[in-house]
Structure 1
C-alpha cells in the first residue's frame, strides 16, 4: 500500500536538513571573529535561554535527581565536546568536508551499539562501515598534498563525530523516559554548564567582533541548535525513527551547496569522491538496519 504524501512532514524534514546543513558554513563565518570555544559558548548560551523560556511556558519539569549525572555527561559529550571539536576542525577544513565527516556518526553509533549493547550489525552493516571509512581515508589522502593542518582538522572533526555517537548510543533510556524534546533541553543545558569554563573574554570578543559574525553566531544558537530537534521530534512521532532520519544523508549535499553559494568554497575532487564513498557506506550500513527494524515491528505486531 502506497504511503500518503504528507506535505507537513516533507516541509519539516526539509527545514531540519537545511538548518543543520547551514550550521557548517555558518561556523566558518563565525570563526573569522570568534575562537572555537567562544562560538560554542555563545551558541549554547543563546539556545539554553530560548529553551528555558519554552520550558517555563510549557511548565517542563526537571529531570529525576538520579539521572542528572548521566545527563550532564551526555550533554558534555553531545554538545560541549562535539561543538568545540567541530569548530576547531573547521579552522582548517571546509564546511562541506566537515559535514561529510560528521555523516560518519551513524557508522560510529552502530559500531558502539555492537560493542556496548551486543547489537548485531550484520554483513551489510560491516560492509557499509568499511566503505564509509574508506571514503574518509580517501578524503584524508586527497588532502595530504595541502597543509598538514588539513589532516589534523579531519581527525578533530572525527573526534566530534565519535563524541556525538557516544551521546546517541547512551541517550536511549533517557529518550524513552523523558521524550526527545525534554531530553534535548536537559542535554543542551548540561553542555552549556561545561562551556561556562570559557566565559572569560567572551564580553570583549563580542565587543570586538563585527556584527555579521555576531549575527551568524546568534543564528547558530537558535536555528541549527534548537529548531531541527523540534522538527525531528515532530516527524519521528508521525513516521517512526527510522523513516524520520532516513533523509539526513542529504545534509552533506546541502552543506556543500550552501558553502559554495555563501562562502565560495569549491569542493575538491578528492572531497567529492571521498564524500560519495562515505555517504554510500553510511547508506549501506543503515538501509538494512531499517529493514530489520521494520521486520521486527511487523513480527511483534503478529505476536
Structure 2
C-alpha cells in the first residue's frame, strides 16, 4: 500500500509508532554504552557501532534493491551522515568521559530546542505554542534528571564544550536530513548517511583493532548491539517518522529518552532513582504529551446566508419620467 492510499490519521499513527521504536532503542543505548565505553575509546566505539550498522543496512538495501538516491537528496544525506552519524557519536562518547552522565544529559538535551529553531529558520516550519510549551516542560524535566544523576566531581570545560558540540551536530544533522527524506526513502537516507559516518570515522580503525583485541566479549557484543538496533533500526524508523512530520515535533519526541533511561537503569542495572529523578522523568513525558497534542477546535457555527442586496428605490417623481 502506498503512502498516498493511507488515511492521514493512519499514516500519523505509523509515524508515531516508528518514533516510539527509535526513542526506546536510543534509551537502551545509554545502558550499552556504559559497558562498551569502558573498553573502547570514543572514536573506536563510534566506528565499530557505525560499521555494524552499515553492514546490516547494506544487506537490507541490497535485498530491497532500492537503487541510489536521486541527486537532490545527496547534500542532505552527506551533511546528516557527517554531522549526526559521524561527529555526534564521537564527541558524545568523548564528552561523557569528561563529565558525568547527568551533566551530559542536561547539555545534550538542548538539541531538540535547536532543532525547532533551525527548522523554523531553514525549513519554514511553524513553532506552535503547544510545541514550545511542551519543549519547555520536557527540558525542565531533563534538567531535573540531570541534576539528580550528577556526581560530586566538577564538569571540565572540555567536557561541556564536547557535549555542546554534540547537541549542535545532532540538531544540524536532523535539519539536514529532513529535505533529503522528501526525495529519497528512509532506508536510502539512513544507509548512505551511516556509510558517510563510517567513512568519516575510518581514522579510528587502528584504535578499534587494538581495543577489540583486549576488550571483554560483553563490551564487544554491546558495541555490535549499538550498531544493529540503536543505529540501523532506530535511525531507519526515525527517518520514516521524520518524513511524515516536522523536525521540531520529532525533536521534542526525544525528550522521552531521559525518562526511559531512568526506568531501564532501574530495571536492568538495579539503580533505584530518587524522587527528583522520577519527577524529572514524569516532566519529560508530560512535556512530550503537550508538544504532540492538538488544540481543540471550537464548534464552527455556520454563518447566516448573506441577504440579497435590495435595489435602491428611485424617487417617485424620477420614476414617472
Please report the TM-score for the alignment, with normalisation by the length of structure 1: 0.75
For residue 89 of structure 1, report the CA deviation from its aligned partner.
3.2
SS at match of 2:181: helix
Cα 1:236/1:37, change in 2 over 3 Å: closer
Q: Between the two structures, name the one with larger relative contact order (CA 8 Å, sep ≥ 6).
A: 1
* Aligned counterpart, 2:38: 32
Cα 1:127/1:61, change in 2 over 3 Å: same
**Alpha-carbon separation, structure 2, partners of 1:230 and 1:120:** 25
Matches within 5 A, 1:59-98: 59-65=65-71, 67-91=73-97, 92-94=99-101
Higher alpha-carbon deviation: 34-43 or 116-125: 116-125
For residue 141 of structure 1, report the CA deviation from its aligned partner.
6.2
SS at match of 2:183: helix
For residue 223 of structure 1, report the CA deviation from its aligned partner.
1.3
SS at match of 1:218: helix
State yes or no: 1:44 paired with 2:50: yes
Cα 1:130/1:255, change in 2 over 3 Å: closer
Cα 1:269/1:80, change in 2 over 3 Å: farther
Structure 2 counterpart of 1:198, from 191, 199, 204? 204
1:167-217 superposed Cα distances (whole Å, 9 cap, x missing partner): 111222210110212111111111111011211222111001111101110
* Unmatched 5+ stretches in structure 2: 1-8, 298-321
State yes or no: 1:186 paired with 2:187: no
**Alpha-carbon separation, structure 1, partners of 2:108 and 2:282:** 13
* Unmatched 5+ stretches in structure 1: 296-303
1:258-295 superposed Cα distances (whole Å, 9 cap, x missing partner): 223333444455554455545545554x335xx38x99
**Alpha-carbon separation, structure 1, partners of 2:174 and 2:164:** 15
Query: Does the CA-based 8 Å contact 1:27-1:90 persist in structure 2?
Result: no
Higher alpha-carbon deviation: 196-205 or 8-17: 8-17
Query: Does the CA-based 8 Å contact 1:100-1:278 persist in structure 2?
Result: no
**Which structure shows the higher helix fraction?**
1
* Aligned counterpart, 1:298: none
User: How well do the aligned residues superpose, as a CA RMSD in angstroms?
Assistant: 3.8
Matches within 5 A, 1:48-59: 48-59=54-65
Query: Does the CA-based 8 Å contact 2:145-2:280 persist in structure 1?
Result: yes
State yes or no: 1:212 paired with 2:222: no
How many corresponding residue pairs?
Answer: 283
Query: Does the CA-based 8 Å contact 1:101-1:136 persist in structure 2?
Result: no
Query: Does the CA-based 8 Å contact 2:83-2:169 persist in structure 1?
Result: yes
1:136-161 superposed Cα distances (whole Å, 9 cap, x missing partner): 55566667772112786566444323
For residue 61 of structure 1, report the CA deviation from its aligned partner.
1.7
**Alpha-carbon separation, structure 1, partners of 2:124 and 2:241:** 28
Matches within 5 A, 1:270-281: 270-277=276-283, 280-281=286-287
* Aligned counterpart, 1:112: 118
Matches within 5 A, 1:122-201: 122-135=128-141, 146-149=152-155, 153=159, 156-201=162-207
Query: Does the CA-based 8 Å contact 2:140-2:283 persist in structure 1?
Result: yes
